[in-house]
A and B are shown apart, each in its own frame.
Chain A
């Protein structure tokens, strides 16, 4: 079972301030990344169909904030939000940060992560399925694309994150 990160969870002293600061620092990066992805992968939006207008909350449980995504090509939203001020959304996807990253990059299988309970979804299941299928149809690695935007430091951060992550849901031979 993954740890809870419900918005209603009690925050320890200072956590709220840390979350807000992290969101402020991260926002320019997120904006740059999502615009780049949208420009390079326009076919992503066709598979989303009516759920281009759906609000998703992507909740990396070990980070002090969540990510709000609305994959509308006319008005893209991708922003970091403190959990206690997270918006009402159509669907929530919750798991450890690097699992979520590897799901986006098709390095992990979403169904397997769901079976193992490492991944939780709630809200509009169809929206989540569409988002998953849209992302899975992209070639290449979003994580590498994003990290490459920030040069050597970006790649170093990604490499370090990957080393830190146990490949629990991959077939052993390929882990």
Chain B
């Protein structure tokens, strides 16, 4: 298929050395060194405001695991991830499947509309939704005739954040599943219809397995990005009411840049890194990407 060909001319070697040299130096300064600093910092009582940097061993980690807000933020993050990812996948898959069917026209129009929220800046969108959730004159209570103070009621605040996130992000899944569907080989479908498979059987036993790589991509990238979500919390609830909408990345922001507990925040952020790695590995296992 492709030939293995060593670098020949001098200019090729130069090109490689410049590009890879730059990449390695850059990654070292902006990634490897920072990770080392964070790991070291997580074993210290570290406050940049009063210049403290004292070795305290595992105290930050011990404190983290006995800190109720940490567990609350973890529970919120897991709920947030699971609910939003499920809706994103289901909505994305269903809409993409509908758009892909021969019955539909105006595909480009629909695709453009559904993808629109994804390309808009989150901070601005979060402000718009904050007003939409306003109990006096907000769009949502008005349209549905409800009387719910979405962002100031601990029963609804996290739901409100999830609804906004689903609205903003489902279009990304639509685009990915749609391009996944378009790339499927058509001969599978022909033989399936010859064998007399109905629409559901075709979807369940042919389309779905073939979409595994796309599914994997959507799930992994979603989890990675939701473990890092903080803007909706920052703009719409600042973690409240109480601690009911703390997400783990917002907790890092809160501890690092409001309380200036850099060491403690480092420990939490490393925990998020480990979680990200675990989730990624699990997703690969569950969706069976190794088979491909």
- Specify whether A and B are partners: no
Measuring CB to CB, which residues of chain B are less than 8 angstroms from any residue of chain A?
none
Tell me the A residues contacting B by CB distance below 8 Å: none
